[in-house]
């Protein structure tokens, strides 16, 4: 028998370190799953991620979102990030296929279970160099007193700048 059936067990390590990387969305598919005897549907987003700008090493990694969307949900935020900061219109359908080929940035976190560690896409950010459109603010007619003003606060902030050019093709 000439088939080589030997295998080696390598150390479990994630394909990406925890960081923010340039990425390009290359696909979105409907992913049907079953968990605890119940079926559910989610969107599976696949990205080419620039792992190492010096060597132009690319890694493919997928993340999932629910299929339902309201403002502030994961799906809404991912669409907004890939869509250069433009939010989906409330009450209108959004064609996810229009996002294929667009660039963004992905925030990677590690998921550790027992002795296994996986790199997971936790957050998407607008691609570098894009200034998201500003929302119109409604006039606030409430009276503000000087001692009502509080300095400080951190808010969400902006992710660290990634200087290297992504060439995910």
127: tokens are 């691609």
147: tokens are 């001692």
* pLDDT of residue 157 exceeding 50: no
- In a domain, residue 74? The reply is yes
Q: Residue 42: exposed, middle, or buried by beta-carbon count in 10 A (0-12, 13-18, 19+)?
A: middle
- In a domain, residue 146? The reply is no
- In a domain, residue 157? The reply is no
Please tell me the total count of domains within the chain.
Answer: 1
- In a domain, residue 138? The reply is no
Q: Residue 50: exposed, middle, or buried by beta-carbon count in 10 A (0-12, 13-18, 19+)?
A: buried
- In a domain, residue 136? The reply is no
- In a domain, residue 155? The reply is no
- Structural domain span for residue 38: 19-130
Mean pLDDT of 34-46: 90
- In a domain, residue 89? The reply is yes
Full-prediction pTM beyond 0.85? no
- In a domain, residue 139? The reply is no
């Amino acid at each position: 028998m000439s088939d080589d059936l030997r295998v080696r067990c390598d150390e479990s390590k994630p394909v990406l370190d925890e960081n923010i990387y340039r990425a390009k969305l290359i696909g979105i598919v409907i992913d049907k799953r079953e968990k605890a005897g119940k079926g559910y549907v989610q969107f599976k987003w696949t990205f080419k991620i620039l792992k190492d700008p010096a060597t132009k090493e690319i890694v493919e990694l997928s993340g999932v979102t629910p299929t339902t969307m309201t403002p502030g949900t994961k799906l809404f935020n991912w669409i907004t990030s890939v869509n250069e900061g433009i939010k989906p219109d409330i009450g209108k359908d959004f064609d996810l296929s229009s996002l294929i080929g667009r660039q963004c940035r992905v925030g990677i976190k590690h998921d550790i279970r027992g002795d296994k560690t996986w790199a997971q896409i936790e957050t998407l950010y607008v691609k570098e160099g894009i200034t998201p459109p500003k929302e119109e603010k409604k006039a606030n007619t409430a009276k503000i007193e000087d001692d009502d003003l509080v300095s400080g606060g951190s808010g969400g902030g902006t992710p660290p700048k990634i200087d290297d050019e992504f060439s995910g093709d």
